[in-house]
Amino acid sequence: MIQSIEQLCDLIELAPETLALDIDSPFPLKVPKHFAQQIEKGQPNDPLLRQILPDLAERQPVPGFVADPVGDLQSNPQPGLIHKYHGRALLIASPRCDIHCRYCFRRHFPYEQAKKQHWQAAIDTLKNATDIEEVILSGGDPMTLSENALIDVIGELEAIPHLTTLRIHSRTPVVAPERANRPQLLAKLSQSRLQTVLVVHCNHPNELSEQTADCLQAYRSAGVTLLNQSVLLKGVNDSADTLAALSKKLFRQGVLPYYCHLLDKVAGAGDFDIEKAQAWAIFEQLRRRLPGYLVPRFVEEIAGEPYKTLLTETD
């Protein structure tokens, strides 16, 4: 794990003084070595580097960019549980991630509530919530839990009779595939009575490697459905060429594109924002060059709405 700007700059062969670095950022650098090795050396505008490098632009306040852009806290009935949408609830399984993405919509989330005693109480609440059929393990990232802890959580969810589906949201299979390829977890999922979906998070085709392909194949072999969600980011993937290449590479690795999110307007991420008109133009180009099953749905999450909102030409 790389948590030093100096160590990262040595690896990617860039001098720190050539970059607009926020060395004392309250949201510090954190990047797995595997992800860092996919960054093109000597290239300060590399799209993977842009996603993880603390930049001084994050310090500039931008109107409309706030700490809780998607209304997590207003849908947080108790610590460790987020309940926004009918029939499903999200369990904050871990306060940690294997990577700090600069555009993260939960970069200001009060993760002190993501403790074992809190998610245990949240599981107890789920036992009585018979209208909930699907539980989403998120965070942070649930893959940062130990293998045994994650298996224990899944076992407790399996014991709730009205649950039918388990969804795991994780960036780890992409950024640190060696940490996600867990034999005991895979065996547990292959035997689970719950239908299991793994939603990975990949924004650029260069994030995918032989190691990610092996990891994702292991989940497919365990009977897990694989989907991807990305975020439309200025300077990272804001072109139809890049997104088309991403969809094709994901499909080769057994993953279907699911969502492409418009940026959640979280404080500190204004430099990644793209106008809706530009997003629509990219979406239109993508639809012309890809079969429908490889075109992700372009969506935005609006706080308080009962579902994600599809991008339309009139936006």
DSSP letters for 4-72: -HHHHHHHHT--GGGS-B-TT-SS---B-HHHHHTSPTT-TT-HHHHHHS-BGGGGS--TT-BS-TT-T
The reply to whether 215 sits in an annotated binding site is no
User: With bands split at pLDDT 50, 70 and 90, how would you rate the model's confidence at 281?
Assistant: very high
Q: Which of the listed ranges 95-99, 140-144, 160-164 does the model predict with the highest average pLDDT?
A: 160-164
Name the domain count of the chain: 2
Residue 68 lies in a domain: no
Shared domain for 149 and 287, answered yes or no, is yes
Shared domain for 175 and 79, answered yes or no, is yes
Shared domain for 175 and 203, answered yes or no, is yes
Shared domain for 22 and 140, answered yes or no, is no
The reply to whether 202 sits in an annotated binding site is no
Q: What is the residue range of 41's domain?
A: 5-59
Shared domain for 214 and 128, answered yes or no, is yes
The reply to whether 260 sits in an annotated binding site is no
Shared domain for 36 and 143, answered yes or no, is no
Residue 10 lies in a domain: yes
Residue 239 lies in a domain: yes
Of 302, 228, 291, the closest CA to residue 260 belongs to 228
Q: What is the pTM of this model?
A: 0.94
Shared domain for 201 and 145, answered yes or no, is yes
Q: Which of the listed ranges 4-18, 66-80, 140-154 does the model predict with the highest average pLDDT?
A: 140-154
